[in-house]
Structure formats: structure tokens, C-alpha cells
Chain A
Amino acid sequence: MTVTFPQKGLPWLLLLPQLLVTAIFFLWPAEQALEQAFYQEDAFGLSREFIGLENFAALFTDPLYYQSMLTTLVFSFSVAIVGMSLALLLAVMADRVIRGKLAYQTLLIWPYAVAPALAGVLWWILFDPSMGPIALWLKSAGVDWNHYLNGNQAMILVVIASTWKQISYNFLFFLAGLQAVPRSLIEAAAIDGASPFKRFWTIVFPLLSPTTFFLLVVNLVYAFFETFGVIDATTKGGPGQSTTTLVYKVFNDGFVGLDLGGSAAQSVVLMAIVGLMTVIQFRFIERKVQYS
């Protein structure tokens, strides 16, 4: 069904608010960051010097920057995969609940309303090596939990803290996706004697693939861009550089360290990486997606 407008002006007028928001809050800052990346400037903006590609050169000659890229990849894929699998599991179970459905679903959606920094603090308290309940329990189970010193444990902590919030979001979409799966298909398969497991893998999961693909893109973008609050509240990028992701570095160098040029160059690189990743996803993974 196509809607046609009598004159050309009206659709543009209706689009205008959204276009304005995009231009003011996305395109303009992006352009500013791109420009800033070629300058060296003191914090107060009293002097500004064009330095060409020097900010980028400094980044790409720093071995720690590559390490941070690797950290980011490990972090982002862990967040996306863990978050999506848990959410799918919960959604499948919630889909079967008949009594108290609303309460159950509401409880699962709640964490999404918690601010990232707050979520960080929450997990930080639970895992505090000397007083956190989870850390103490781990210790009694024989795991020496100390994320202040152990880089892998610190990574696990930030992945948990970042994933927890995202599960709610993923859950909502998976649940909606599940409810859109025609009952008749499942019933037919059941009559043919397919086990619940087989029904899920051969019918439901493929039909969920548009949702799964959408969530993969959204989750990766979330992990790449929106997790600095959680990292700042839990590990501050440490120990060493083991949880310093690219976006945390942008935040830390720019807003804490006030190195605007260097930070802008990093965000341009980050934009390029995410752009590239999205193109790859749409070109190669989307082909496997069955839209209907």
C-alpha cells in the first residue's frame, strides 16, 4: 500500500522535525568532530593550530591503540552474544507463561530504565572484592575474585554490567518476534511429531532471523558507543588497559583529559569502524536473513 500526497511540499514538511533533529544532533556534531580532528587546540580554545593528520598519526603509531581495538572487539562481541542469547532464552520462556504474564514481562523490562552509570555502580558493589556479596560467594567457592588486579575478571565484570541492561531491550524484541510466529506452523509441526527443540530450531529461530539481525546491529553499536558510563563507574579502564575500549578512551581523553583534537580523531576512527562493520553486516549476514 502506498500513500500518495497531493502536493510535494507536505511530505517534506512532515519530515522536517526529524530531519532537523538529525541535522542538529547528529550531522553537525559529526562534522565538528571531523574538523576538530585536524587541529591541535588548548582546552579553552584560545589558540588553534592546523596540524593535518598528526592526531591520526599519533594514534596509529601507538601500540596501545591497537590493543584497545582488540579489547573493544572482545568486549563488544561478548556483550552482543551473551546479551542476545540470554534474552532469547528468557523470551522463549516468557512466551510460554500464561498466568502472570504481564508481571513477569514487566519485571524483565525494568532494568532498561536504569541509567548506565547506576547499573555500573550496582555491579561494582556486588563484585567488590572485599565486601561484594557475589565476590565473597565466589571466594568461598574457591575463585580468587579481584578485578582490581586481574584483567580478565575486570573484563567479565564490565561485560556483565553492560549486558544486564541490554537484556531487557533484546527481550522485548525477541518476545514481539516470537508472538508474530504463526501458531499454525508450530501446531502443524507438532502434529507431524517434531520435538519442541526441533520446532524451535527449524521453524521459530529462522523466522526470528530479521529480529536477531536487527538486534545484532543494535547491540554492537550499543557496546561500541554507549558503554563508557558503565566502564567509568566500574573499572575506569583498568587494571592496566584491560578494559579501555575505544569509546572509553574517547571519553577519557576528551572530557577528562581535555585533549580535544586527539579525542576527535579517535571518534572519527570509531565512526569509520562502526560504519564499516554495519556495511559488512548488511552485505554478508543480511543475505542469510529470511524476511518472510
Chain B
Amino acid sequence: MHNLKLASVVVGLSIASSGFAATEIEWWHAMGGANGEKVNEIAKAFNDSQDAYEVKPVYKGNYTETMTSAIAAFRAKQQPAIVQVFEVGTASMMAAKGAIYPVYKLMKDSGQAFDESAYLSAVTGYYSNSDGQMLSMPFNSSTPVLYYNKDLFKKAGISQAPKTWQDVESVSNKLLASGVTCGFTTAWQSWIQLENLSARHNVPFASLDNGFGGLKTELKFNGPLQVAHVQKMGEWQKSGIFSYSGRTNDGAAKFYSQECAMFTESSAGYAGIKRNAKFDFGVAELPYWEGKVKQPSNTIIGGASLWVLQGHSKEEYKGVASFLSYLSKASVQADWHQFSGYLPITKAAYDLTKEQGFYKANPGTETGVIQMTTGTPTANTKGLRLGNFVQIRGVIDEALESVWSGDVDAQTALNTAVERGNAQLRKFEKAND
């Protein structure tokens, strides 16, 4: 009897709650720590702003883990509606035509107002098809910049941040002479010292518009510019101007400990550097080689975007569309940009941040945005769309390491990397054709 009563209460409750239940939208993401809390905050603000939909953010581990679990979930037909995928996974997502719901189409189908020109083209270009239509929604984008230790610069009698790689060399020599052990170190070597080096000098990284033109793309990063740069860095590694510190962003430790006076790293590394650097630091644009290009081009982005997956109800997709619109709002974007250090994705968010005086109060935070938005992106600076890009980056890491350790010269190393990388591209082409 008692049990029966309890059961009826439970049933009653569940009927009552289903009456008001908002449509649930699952969002798998890879934002840990403070950014993860911010993601929850954004979702909560959206949920509170209306009562038809409820976005549920789920932290799935790092980028690779998030992407792998979303794919595994898709194969088991348990996929979330939205998943955050890092930039190197873009080609894999795009090629999976039956698995993704392109954002431009989703917006149209659900009748959401969607003006693609409101977004920063240097950001959205990476995630658009050849007709310029957005396939995924950029969420956290960053671009490489140069951080430098102002205190060490002052001690060495240097008044200006280096603009070109020639400057980096001369500044480093002065720093070394003043007793600093290393001129600069870098994070994410493939992204910064090859992919962005190519973009900055408007030189192709791969054929067919860096892969935007189709799966038949071939790697081109063994050209004279890249070889000269890598060769020079190999020499710098010997002379102490450059010090290699691993494949990810472990080099930060060398910058914090003032072992290295400069650090090329993502613009999103700003918050971490601000927290850990016990000295005055500045942010400069990513250097370029003087004489190799008249006006340096925009750099390309890294980070991740939000992909919508197939297999959900129309109602859910309506919710997804309205959530994506909400995310693009200037106020939401500006808040996210200022909090996390990732780039704003719309012009309105950029202007709003400027208006609020954020850049004045936090010098250096605007550098990445300015660098991204100078000039119109060309076929060489829009981004990269390469299949099996994770493996290709691994191949590049290995090649660069063999140059830094002095085992091989730059030309041989990059030729091997291109050859091995092309094999990965052909494999991807075969699997996705």
C-alpha cells in the first residue's frame, strides 16, 4: 500500500515535470578549468533566458578525447547535438557529410536570422566551404603572437619589441650578451613556425588553396621560405638564440623562469602568462622575414569550433540554432573573449570590447585581433583543410626535432615530412572519397 502511494507520487511528478520539460540539447566540449566553468555559465544564462530549450554542457576531456568520444557516440547512435572539435579535426568533420549538419543550413532550416558577414572572416574562413558558407560555429579561436620579457629587454638595453625575425636575431644576441641564457622558445612548433609562417608570408602550405579546394591537395611546406626559416632556427638552437621546449606549450616554463626572454605562443595563452609571469611583459605581433614579404599577411587561427551532428529531432535543432545565435551575440562574445583570451568572432563583439575599454586596461590583448584582421585573407591565409592532420602534425614535429638536434638539414627534413604527410593525405582521400 505504502509502495503504491509512493509510486503514484513518482508517476505524478514525472508527468508534471514532462509537461514543462524543456527540450534538452547536449553539448560536448573540451574546456577544462576556469574556461569550463565559464562554459557552464554561458549555458545557464541561455537556459535562463528562455524556457523552451535546455543546453547541457558535458566536459569530455581534452580535444582529442572529446572528438573521439563524439565519433564513438555517433557510431553507437548516441551522439550529442553539439560537439566542440579542434581546428585540425575540421577536415575529418567536413568529409563526414552524413554525420554533420552544416551550421548555415541549420540556421536557414530553423528560420534563425543569420548574417554571415557579421563574423570576422579571418575566423570563419577556416570553417567555411569553398562557397563561403559556414559549416561550423567558431567558438574559441586564437592566433600566435610573440610575448617578450620587458625587464630583460631593459637590462639588455633594448627599447623596442622585435618586428621581424631579423630583429629577433639581433635582439637575442644582445640578450645573450647581457647574460640571458636563451633568446626565445616556441609553443606548438608546427602551427606557429610552419603553418603560420607560411600564412604570414602569403606562401602556400599545401596545394589546392591549402586543401580548401579538395581532397587531392598536396603539402608544399618544403619551399625556400620554410626551409630557410627552419634552417635558421636550427642554427639558432645551436647558438642559444632559440631553445626547443617540446611539442605543446611546455615552453611557458622557460619563459616564466626568465630562462628565455621571448616566447611565441597562442594569444589565448595571455591569461596564463599574466598569472605566472613575475615580471613586466609585452605582446607583439608574430615576426616575419623582412625582404620576403612587403606587408605581412594575417595569421591563421587555432582553437576549436562547434559542430552540429545529425540524428536529432527538428525541435532540438531549433534549440541548437537559437543557442548558436545566442552565442554570437555581441555581449556574450565580448564577455567570453575578455574572460578567456580567445578571439572575438564578430565585429560587434570586437567593437563592444573596445568601447568597454578592455584593451586599454589590458595592454597586449588586442595584438592578436589586430594581427588577424589586417587585410583580406587570401587563399594562403584562410586556414588549412587537411585530412589526417593530427598525424601530419606528428610527422612535422618529428622532422623539426631532427633539425633542432642537428641530425639532418632543414631541406632533407622538410622533404621527408612532405613525403610522409602526403601519404597520410592520400590515405584520407581514399577513405573519404
Q: A-side interface residues toward B, CB under 8 Å?
A: 40-47, 49, 58, 128-131, 148-151, 236-241, 252-253, 255-259, 261-262
Contacts and interface: CB of A to CB of B under 8 A. Distances in A.
Contacts of A58: 427
Main secondary structure of the interface of A (DSSP, over half): loop
A255 B68 contact: yes
12 contacts: A42-B432, A47-B432, A129-B245, A149-B404, A151-B405, A239-B398, A240-B407, A255-B64, A255-B68, A257-B388, A257-B390, A258-B71
Contacts of A240: 398, 401-402, 405, 407
Contacts of B427: 58, 259, 262
Interface in B417-433: 427, 430-432
A252 B245 CA distance: 21
B253 A130 contact: yes
B253 A46 contact: no
B254 A44 contact: no
A190 B276 CA distance: 63
Interface in B57-72: 64, 67-68, 71
A149 B403 CA distance: 10
Interface stretch (B91-99, B115-123, B148-156, B283-291): B91-99
Contacts, number: 86
A252 B395 CA distance: 12
Contact of B244 (A49, A149, A237): A149
B71 A128 contact: no
A130 B431 contact: no
A200 to B, nearest CB: 44
A271 B404 CA distance: 35
B179 interface: no
Q: Chain B interface residue count: which class? A: 35 or more
B397 interface: yes
A46 B310 CA distance: 12
A215 to B, nearest CB: 33
A58 B68 CA distance: 24
A259 B394 CA distance: 14
B98 A258 contact: no
B243 to A, nearest CB: 9
A256 B86 CA distance: 12
Contacts of A256: 64, 68, 390
A45 B97 CA distance: 11
Contacts of A47: 431-432
Contact of A239 (B92, B259, B405): B405
A40 B388 CA distance: 14
Contact of B253 (A128, A253, A259, A262): A128
Given A40-B431, A44-B75, A130 B245 contact: yes
B299 to A, nearest CB: 25
Given A130-B245, A258-B390, 11 more contacts: A44-B71, A44-B74, A46-B99, A49-B431, A128-B250, A130-B254, A237-B394, A255-B64, A256-B68, A256-B390, A258-B71
Contacts of A255: 64, 68
B64 A40 contact: no
A238 B405 contact: no
B247 interface: yes
A148 B253 contact: no
Residue of A41, A44, A150 with highest tally of chain B CB at under 10 A: A44
Residue of B74, B95, B397, B431 with highest tally of chain A CB at under 10 A: B431
Interface in B10-29: none
